[in-house]
Structure 1
């Protein structure tokens, strides 16, 4: 009996103390305050994360042993490896933009000398001519198999040579090749204007009161915009033009749409536009035929390679390194001799029509050229005016091409000249190239 009372007493005591029994408590207990839990160690979630390896940058080792240099044809030092970085010399500053395209892939090692075939004496003469005439742009002069002797950007820190831009009527070299390649109709009643959709483009002397009957030779010589836009939009279309460009000129043969297309050179990858970017767009297709497409801009370096293909009968990789051998691009085909012959005739007549004085024979050397002008306006009210001037062509003697020269003037609006105004400079560059 005593034990039972003790147990009951203990239970009643427990109920009163904890408030969990059936007995009424004498007073409500105060609300319990939250007690912060002690901070534990952070949870490691790295197991669940996907690790993406970071690409390591290739940086030349910082060592006095890696005394690499970049030199010109005559041994002039243009850049040196200092503290793991390429530094231009005072002489190299005269070719700043060009060297900036060379140094990323220059070879580094003990006593390594990257020798370029760049002729600094001739390049400096060309640079002086551009300065005297107030021309901003570039001049490229190669042998017929892509070996670059002159790549002159003026000013030196502007990379005009490898920058895509409008190439004006020099594009008609490519379109003419496609016309000949596919046997397209060459007779056309030219009204002096053409509308590919959205805008009317005129010939330089159009429109005409009555259509002018033209052949390909005449249209190329007088640079008829209407003729070539009509051929592109109504005779050839996107597919046939692309086939020809790819077959003979390596257009979009290298690279991909996803990563970008390029034309190969032994010191860089020259950017190239995606031809399919204008698929189904007749407006841009028509503009591409006269070098005014906003989506199909090519570089002066690539234009020089295309011109070289006409001269040599096949397209070659461009080469600036002295040790490089001529490299015929095996992904392309040789120009059929009948097409090459017709293009030679057309380019010769274009030079004679442009300026018989400047493109007359020079000590037995003959000029074959195509001129180009790219006039564009921009701004909310078309208040800004741009004018690019070009001449691309080659010099031959006794039917053997000697050199391929491309002249590009970026500030044509300021010079007040037409593309024919570059003819004296072109002849002077040819004379420099032919110097012993």
Structure 2
């Protein structure tokens, strides 16, 4: 296989030219190896699905491109965060807080999510349009994340600013930039103050309280673990969902026949969002470190080597999906990899699906004939995220004030 075919830090990964590359990798080199990083890059759905729960691979040494490929620190305390822990400790902690993210808990958040969404769209109506990410998706997702975590809602907008800066990237720098490192430090300081405040004055059954009260085999979560877990909650709960929502609105705009079906039958909003999760997964990849010999496709991956899961490639694998390059709101794929799988499946999956569905329902109720200002669309250039950085929606004449 051509060693120049794929590189995780090349400009090719940003745009649509990557899809033929992914297809060739799936067909010819599903365990594509780059000696530069001593890393295998996996593109087939079933390979990733099977390896995610495999105890021969560990998340404890990091999972992001910044950590595994560039050797940079994601955030202080990240190494002890729930998202970076292996079973059985991770399993016990996850079980103790799972009730906060259950389907029932997500449903209880729906009135609040709908109230916020309607308010933001009402404000946008006065302007004649809305950025699906910055003015709608992120504003909703950060407020729901704050509600779950136990952060005062008045901190929402500053957190959006810091999370955006946390993912700042530059063509001159691989990985983190000075801007992103400054934002990381601000988030750490904020979380430290939040934890101290909850220790003095407990909240009302929120995530911070739950984490402070957990003890596993006589072991409490360290301050680093608390810090890393809560930063992951803020960043993960704020950043990814808006990008998927933007992609969903964009794909419906591209496919007016499917948009018309959603307008006629709002119960399809959840299905449309689920298909957008598959079709336009924004996270480029996450990975693991091999800790015991593991065989895949006749090759043995050895301890110390890394394995990166290329989510967008796997979510368009012909072996798993019929006609995977087609966006189809009625596909209803029984399994996708956008929330991961098994031990480290995204805790917020139920909440994210709720938010996406509610925003799409409210947008379609307001203006099913919205337009996209394509000349103002901003596309991301990042080794970690792909897709949209801004997606301006313009309301039809009958809706704008």
Provide TM-score, normalisation by structure 1.
0.24
TM (normalized to structure 2)?
0.26
Higher relative contact order (CA 8 A, sep 6+): 2
Structure with a larger share of its residues in strand: 1
Greater helix content: 2
In our comparison, the structure showing a higher alpha carbon Rg is 1
